[in-house]
Amino acid sequence: MPFTVRTRFDWRLHSRNLALGSRTLVMGILNATPDSFSDGGHYVNVDAGVDRALEMLDDGADLIDLGGESTKPNAIPVSAAEEQARVLPVLRAILVARPNAILSIDTYHAETARMAVEEGAEIINDVSGLLWDEKMAENCATLGCGAVLMHTRGRPQQWLNQAALPSSEVLPLVQRELEERAQAALAAGIAREAIVLDPGFGFGKVRDENYPLLAQLDELRTLGYPLLIGVSRKGFLRRTVGEMPKQSDAYQHATSAANSAAILAGAHILRVHDIRPAREAAAIADRILDASLSAMIGAHTEKGISPHTERAIIPHNEKDVKADAA
């Protein structure tokens, strides 16, 4: 049976458009935090953060997602002012070094989001799906930036004690509430073409509750939006493969397996810590999707349809300019 045929989109960012669907895009995670679950404390100063961002871009990251507050279970919330002090100097310095870099700000604070976009960020990535700050939706609409809306069940301080979800209820819950978040965004004036949805692996889905979501990920395509997937080093993967030595790359393998499954189910963007393994997994999965599409086209004897057309980043004032890959 053919794999998912991934829908093409032009994602509207703050100052340009980004083609989605012809190949998987890789978003690098940059945590300017002392307490993130995987790399907390590694990039808390500006120089370290910039060096890491440039390293990820050189490894092939298409975007960088910069965050200043951990959202691991039981994470301690920080003020918007503290978050801004962590991320804004790093954001500015990255754009000095790489003016064309596409940066996303990972925040649920509306004021942080506004300041970051005004400093050059293209995307607001809100793990609450616009729920935790009543001004966020209005800010996204006014700023005209890309908006990633994640599904979150509860808050980090509640996750360890949440009641379990039956497997059959995970996907319907995520699907229904993501649709509600998208409708709320549209009602607030956020452009449909600016919205990307994230089912929020690990965000209020405990341990094996994440597998039914991954197994039925293709069902979320019915919502009609691009999908961003973040499974990198997540606890449900680590729990499955068992605890490994800190220097082991076993979690990269587990992440790559989950990333490949997500792409084959229709994911457009991977949010990851490790760029090269993600690029490798995406290269193989994308070729499988291309072959699946070619087989489908052949079966229906449809002529003149290219299964592998890759469009370039398109500025808003040059939307008709496209570059087709060989």
DSSP state at residue 276: H
Rounded Cα distance between 86 and 68, Å, is: 6
DSSP state at residue 75: P
Contact 293, 7 (CB under 8 A): no
Rounded Cα distance between 186 and 178, Å, is: 12
Contact 75, 104 (CB under 8 A): no
> What is the edge-to-edge ordering of all strands in the sheet holding 146-150?
195-198, 146-150, 123-126, 103-106, 63-67, 25-31, 269-272, 228-229
Q: Is the dihedral of CA 120, 123, 125, 130 positive or negative?
A: positive
For residue 240, what is the enclosing H or E element?
helix 235-241
Rounded Cα distance between 262 and 269, Å, is: 9
* Catalytic residue annotation: 234, 271
For residue 271, what is the enclosing H or E element?
strand 269-272
Q: Which residue has the tokens 């050189």?
A: 58
